Amino acid sequence: MKHTLALFLATLALATPAKADQLHAGLAAFRHHNYIKAAALLQGPAERGEASAQTVLCFLYTAGFGVPRSYPDAAAWCERAANQGDARAQYMLGLLYNKGHGVPENYILAYKWLNLAASRAAGPKKDYSFRMRDAVATKMSPAQIAIAQELSVEWRPVREFPSR
């Protein structure tokens, strides 16, 4: 996950150097496993709507790296980034819904987010996301799967507009 996240983050371009520096410094701290520094630096960009910062905070709160483990905080950051179309956040949000961590357990929403993540992933991550989605499907009725698939088809990203 770190390698894919690093490649994604390297492609980001921001308009304001100071805010870009904070985001890039936070992502660099994350890549170097300095999770306390990463969490502190990424808070501002995440609050301003940067999906990559939100995704990293989701991971940090889920794992309890650099911050106290908090599934509700993880779910809140994941949801913001997932709604913007970040496949890693969609994957993590699907897992949170599957287990009811920080959100009510909901297999329909777990399937939806895992399906969306798989449709945006590449290589082994795509296969793994589909396998996780299919594992969730074993707990669902055909009608529930149909609803989840319809939600996936109807979903559209909603970008947050960072204040720059």
Count of CB atoms within 10 A of residue 133's CB? 25
pLDDT tens digits for range 65-109: 999 999 999 999 999 999 999 999 999 999 999 999 999 999 999
- Contact yes or no for 86/51 (Cβ under 8 A): yes
Q: Is residue 161 in a domain?
A: no
* Band of residue 145 on the pLDDT scale cut at 50, 70, 90: very high
Segments forming the whole domain that contains residue 9: 2-154
In angstroms, rounded to a whole number, what is the distance separating the alpha carbons of residues 20 and 14?
Answer: 6
Full DSSP string of 59-104: HHHHHTSSS---HHHHHHHHHHHHHTT-HHHHHHHHHHHHHTSSS-
Cβ contacts of residue 63 below 8 Å, gap of 6+?
Answer: 69
Q: What is the CATH number of the domain that holds 105?
A: 1.25.40.10
User: How many domains is the chain built from?
Assistant: 1
pLDDT tens digits for range 13-71: 433 557 779 999 999 999 999 999 999 999 999 999 999 999 999 999 999 999 999 99
The pTM for the full model equals 0.86
